[in-house]
Amino acid sequence: MAVTKNTKFIFITGGVVSSLGKGIASASIGLLLKLRGMKVTILKLDPYINVDPGTLSPYQHGEVFVTDDGAETDLDLGHYERFIDENMTRMNNATTGQIYYSVIKKERRGDYLGKTVQVIPHITDEIKYRIWTAGHDDIEYDVIIVEVGGTIGDIESLPFLEAIRQLCLEAGHENTLNIHLTLVPYIRAADEFKTKPTQHSVMRLREIGIQPDMLLCRCESHIEVELKNKIGLFCNVAQNAVIEARDVETIYQVPLVFEAEGVGDLLVRRLGLRNDKPDLTQWELFVSRVMNPEREVTIAICGKYTELKDSYKSIIESFIHAGAAHSTKVKLKWVDAERLESGGLGTSFDDVSGILIPGGFGNRGIEGKIATVQLARERGIPFFGICLGMQCAIIEFARNVCGMESANGSEFSNQTDFPVIDIMEQQKNLANLGGTMRLGAYRCELKAKTATSKIYGNAVISERHRHRYEVNNVYVDEFEKNGMVATGINPKTDLVETIELTDHPWFIGVQFHPELKSRVLEPHPLFRDFVKAALTHQSRNGA
């Protein structure tokens, strides 16, 4: 049972504008409660009608975060996992699409016994059910944090807010708490912070029947107590629950700012939770390493969605974690693979100490990526290929080392005598694109004495996947004869999960997405070692 009679619910809504960092706020609050000894999980409610973000373009939605159980979810779940260090599941993200899908299925089954199916109560009941059953069934949660996507005033989020209103009534005031994240803009011409947008946003919330208990006020800099008093008065919120959430240099400071503002203590007091003193030492140490690095190293990311950095969220965060472990700031140089195709590689990689090719779909930019792999291989620059990046590494090796000139992946071209990356038999005749890739955690056995197994320090690993195409085993012997070793194999299917070059300082490709498992205090071993290799390269080559 996920919820007990003692479980408390904290709802987090957002006002005024989007992108205020509700995900980070939710994750930070989760961390502060977990550090007080509580069992916490976080549910993200997304108002869009897609069943999941899996079918959304990275330009629209940013990264798709994949959980161990193979759900394609909102990137905020990545923040939750990284901050509270708990695995999320498909129960931690519900969309309007999922809610309606399940209500419509019930209606078709006749479950509603002739009733007219309506937003209230049927859709709101389904939303409440998803909140009650958030998280994993065998864990008894002290606190379930529910983040509502979108901004107050959106038509789409109304059913979610109505469900929250009902749930607060049913579970009782002592068991529920509402936090509203809002913006207090600074108007330069007037030299003043303005509270009106916050007043209006809270007004809308109160019209719906939700009275916030706490306001997290995003602001550029410190706001005076008089202003907090004013906001509290107009919004009917206790002054000490009007929290200054000022801009910070790194998202990892947010829990520390909240703690200093008394957020954790306020929450536990109001909800009657126990209040073990939280130990933030490790977190503080991490933040101070991020903010005061001893050195820098530049790593290139050669991808297709380079204008929207959110598409590579987990990779960016993984480099922050790994960099901190080496007291190093990892500077990322974004290289647009398509531009390389028209303009050539030129000097794009002359000033970098490592090259990463991330995941991706479709053939735009593929030849640019393959040329990039060749450069990394020939110049001995540390290379890390993730999913599509590993596939490019294999195509490059087949073409330029094994003499298979037309080698390609069948996602990119069918004009090839050597389909070194191919579609799985089970994938060939699928009608639906949504939710049908190889998704979620799979085990992988690492060959002893390989660089990859040394880095992991483990013979068996489990990593998360999201792809349709695989290494074609027909060619593996040929690759190995020429110096590219299949170092990790899926024990059930025999599929190649990791490769490395024997004659190269650091050249590793992985079919899975290691970036999804990096945590703040536990950087992913591959990222940690890749940064180390880049530092070594830098000290030898000056770049």
Q: How far apart, in Å, do the first and last CA atoms of the chain sit?
A: 54
Of 72, 168, 515, 524, the catalytic one is 515
**Which residue has its beta carbon closest to ligand GLN?**
359
Query: Which residue is catalytic, options 321, 326, 513, 524?
Result: 513
Altogether, the residues listed in the chain come to a count of 543
Q: Based on CB atoms, which residue is closest to ligand GLN, 146 or 386?
A: 386
Q: Could you say which of 387, 392, 402, 444 is catalytic? A: 387
Tokens of 258: 């909240």
370 versus 388: smaller Cβ distance to ligand GLN = 388
Helices marked H in 299-365 — which ranges?
313-325, 337-343
Question: CB-wise, 371 or 423, nearer to ligand GLN?
Answer: 423
Output the smallest distance, CB 389 to ligand GLN, in A.
7
SS (H, E, C) 403-452: CCCCCEECCCCCCCCCEEEEECHHHCCCCCCCCCCEEEEEEEEECCCCHH
Q: Which is nearer to ligand GLN, 349 or 412 (CB)?
A: 412
Select 159 or 389, whichever has its Cβ closest to ligand GLN: 389
Report yes or no: 203 and 42 within 8 Å, Cβ to Cβ. Answer: no
Return the number of the residue (291 or 423) whose C-beta is nearest ligand GLN: 423
Output the smallest distance, CB 496 to ligand GLN, in A: 12
Please state, in angstroms and rounded to a whole number, the distance separating the CA atoms of residues 157 and 151. Answer: 8
515 assigned to active site: yes
CB of 54 to ligand GLN, least distance (A): 11
Q: Which residue, 337, 488, 508, 475, is CA-closest to 401?
A: 475
Least Å distance, CB 438 to ligand GLN, is: 8
Close Cβ partners of 184 (under 8 Å, ≥ 6 residues apart) = 193, 194, 195, 197, 198, 217, 218, 219, 223, 227, 231
Q: Which residues contact 85 (CB under 8 A, 6 or more apart)?
A: 34, 519, 520, 521, 522
513 has catalytic annotation: yes
Helix (H, G, I), strand (E, B) or coil at 173: helix
At its nearest, how many Å lie between ligand GLN and the CB of residue 373? 14
Backbone angles phi, psi at 346, to 5 degrees: 50, -130
Site residues (vs ligand GLN, CB under 6 A): 359-361, 387-388, 411, 466-469
Closest contact distance (angstroms) between CB of 387 and ligand GLN is 3
Catalytic, 219? Answer no
Q: Which residues are catalytic?
A: 387, 513, 515
